[in-house]
Amino acid sequence: MKKFAHDFKVVGNNPLNARHFVLELQAPVPLPEILPGQFVQVLVHNSPSTFLRRPFSVHFADYSKNTLSLLVQIKGEGTRHMGMLKTGDTLNLVYPLGNSFSAPSSGKVLLVGGGAGVAPLMIMGDYLNRKNIRPDFLVGFRSADEVSQMDQYARYGKVYLSTDDGSMGEKGFVTQHPVFATSPLPYDRICCCGPDAMMHAVAKLAAAKGVACEVSLENFMACGYGVCLCCITQTDTGNERVCIEGPVFETSRLKW
């Protein structure tokens, strides 16, 4: 698939809460189709401590406005800089990168996300809707003050919510949510993105219940397009590049 490096224009920077924001970026040329689960590599200008690009999942693509958006959690220098971007600023992106969540043509899909890992669920919801599938969402946050975009997910499907402290939705981790209580599970496929611990727990649960499960890994990357071999994860077919063969993997293939 053709890849590009372009200066995007910041057309929106919307804080969700103290640690998360959504950047809306307009492409200088017509966007190619972006698949759910694909990511971009962002060049953080003007910072001596951010030498390498930073990878972010595409949160949403709006072809009518020719924009993509990123949902970003502030971690260090790079994401802090991104958080200060203003409308009119530019940001250089390499895109579109990586594979994507698989797209069942029918069946019931559960999209599970936690923290900034919810990012790709939105574009996935949109994508599934366009295939006439309404997925369920199960999103987990630390507490009520980090819960956001519930109405937007709701446009694409039913939304379940967990918070670690129980301040909103179910209390506890997503895997403790009643959605997972039934056996067999009413899903043909689970797609999950979130902290490592969450993905492991969900993968284990899915395996136990015999449901196909995909996760989107966030390994450290230098290039993002398959040439440095820094981002590898062990699979049943050996070391695979998370940036090319992934970031989405069938959990049954992973040795993690």
Ligand X SMILES: Cc1cc2nc3c(=O)[nH]c(=O)nc-3n(C[C@H](O)[C@H](O)[C@H](O)COP(=O)(O)OP(=O)(O)OC[C@H]3O[C@@H](n4cnc5c(N)ncnc54)[C@H](O)[C@@H]3O)c2cc1C
Ligand Y SMILES: Cc1cc2nc3c(=O)[nH]c(=O)nc-3n(C[C@H](O)[C@H](O)[C@H](O)COP(=O)(O)O)c2cc1C
Applying CB under 8 A, which residues contact another protein?
1-5, 43, 48-53, 92, 94, 219-220, 222-234, 238-239, 244
Q: Decide if 205 contacts 227 (C-beta within 8 A).
A: no
How many angstroms separate the Cα of 130 from the Cα of each of 27, 62, 106, 123, 146? Answer: 23, 13, 12, 11, 29
Task: Compute the radius of gyration of the chain from its Cα atoms.
Answer: 17
Please identify which residue in 18, 29, 30, 46 interacts with a second copy, judged by CB under 8 A: 46
User: How far is it, in rounded angstroms, from Cα 211 to Cα 18?
Assistant: 36
User: How far is it, in rounded angstroms, from Cα 82 to Cα 91?
Assistant: 9
Structure token digits, residue 176: 């403790």
Residue 3 touches which member of ligand FES, ligand Y, another protein, none, C-beta under 5-8 Å by kind: another protein
CB-neighbour burial class of residue 108 (10 A; exposed 0-12, middle 13-18, buried 19+): middle
Give the type of residue at 196.
D
Q: Which stretch binds ligand Y (CB under 6 A): 77-85, 118-126, 161-169, 222-230?
A: 222-230
Q: Decide if 113 contacts 18 (C-beta within 8 A).
A: no
Residue 48 interacting with a second copy (CB under 8 A): yes
Residue 71 interacting with ligand X (CB under 6 A): yes
Nearest CA to 215 among 134, 98, 105?
98
Q: Which stretch binds a second copy (CB under 8 A): 43-51, 59-67, 142-150, 182-190?
A: 43-51
Q: Which is nearer to a second copy, 77 or 164 (CB)?
A: 77
Footprint of ligand X on residues 150-179 (CB under 6 A)? none
User: Least distance to ligand X from the beta carbon of 184, Å?
Assistant: 31
Residue 232 interacting with ligand Y (CB under 6 A): no
Residue 46 touches which member of ligand X, a second copy, another protein, none, C-beta under 5-8 Å by kind: a second copy
Cα atoms in the Cβ-side hemisphere of radius 13 Å centred on 178: 6
User: Least distance to another protein from the beta carbon of 204, Å?
Assistant: 20
Nearest CA to 247 among 212, 220, 227, 211?
220
User: Least distance to ligand Y from the beta carbon of 216, Å?
Assistant: 23
Q: Which is nearer to another protein, 13 or 50 (CB)?
A: 50
Residue 249 interacting with ligand X (CB under 6 A): no
User: Least distance to ligand Y from the beta carbon of 217, Å?
Assistant: 19
Q: Which is nearer to ligand Y, 154 or 229 (CB)?
A: 229
Q: Which is nearer to ligand Y, 58 or 243 (CB)?
A: 243
Can you give the three-state secondary structure of 55-92, one letter per residue? EEECCEEECCCCEEEEEEECCCHHHHHHHCCCCCCEEE
- The residue assigned the tokens 């902290």 is 195
Footprint of ligand X on residues 51-70 (CB under 6 A)? 52, 54-57
**Contacting residues toward ligand Y, per CB under 6 A:** 222, 228, 230
**Contacting residues toward a second copy, per CB under 8 A:** 46-48, 51, 81
